[in-house]
A and B are shown apart, each in its own frame.
Chain A
Amino acid sequence: AQSVSQHNHHVILSEAASLELGCNYSYGGTVNLFWYVQYPGQHLQLLLKYFSGDPLVKGIKGFEAEFIKSKFSFNLRKPSVQWSDTAEYFCAVTGRYGQNFVFGPGTRLSVLP
């Protein structure tokens, strides 16, 4: 069965620190990959997505993610976090045609001012 794991349940950083959130997936075949974010009191929203092409994907608010096929990973990065990045981050995967959409359990990021 398809699955997504996220390495950390809760990450605490100080402002200006660098961020890397791990995501690994188990899926047989071509995948589409996503990172969604949920800020406190707000809806889930898309940060970035990978379908094909350049494995380094840039999203909103300075986030980027790298797809490493050999490692089944899609880690999220940001060079310098801000207090406003405090949120829950979800990695998700689907098959090539969008089937079997699976979310990871989420990583809570707390950024201390």
Chain B
Amino acid sequence: GAGVSQTPSNKVTEKGKYVELRCDPISGHTALYWYRQSLGQGPEFLIYFQGTGAADDSGLPNDRFFAVRPEGSVSTLKIQRTERGDSAVYLCASSPEGFGAYEQYFGPGTRLTVT
């Protein structure tokens, strides 16, 4: 079966623009996570969905970042008024159930570059 997919694989945008990053989780996985990984660092947790609702959004750095998962499957991470510091690889992961006991399956990531 297909794994977690993310589109686009690369995104270059100008400072101040709006971007959307998409994640398609593994079919049937109820939990979905977004992470951000900067060069030389480990993934940094952003937000976690259980079904359609955000169960934990404590990792979102500020109100320019927002994520949705309207039908409990595909999720979109939205970044408004992008800044150069937003440049990173954005990772999505899914798991059969919520945080903790279950392995997270990661996608390939979207590399965002803000110029």
Contacts and interface: CB of A to CB of B under 8 A. Distances in A.
A99 to B, nearest CB: 7
A2 B108 CA distance: 26
Contact of B43 (A45, A100, A103): A103
Chain B interface main SS type: loop
Contacts of B108: 43
A101 B45 contact: yes
Contacts of A94: 99-100
B40 interface: yes
Interface residues on A, range: 20 to 34
A4 B41 CA distance: 11
B43 A90 contact: yes
B20 interface: no
Given A44-B91, A94-B100, A105 B42 contact: yes
B40 A105 contact: yes
B3 interface: yes
Contacts of A29: none
B48 to A, nearest CB: 8
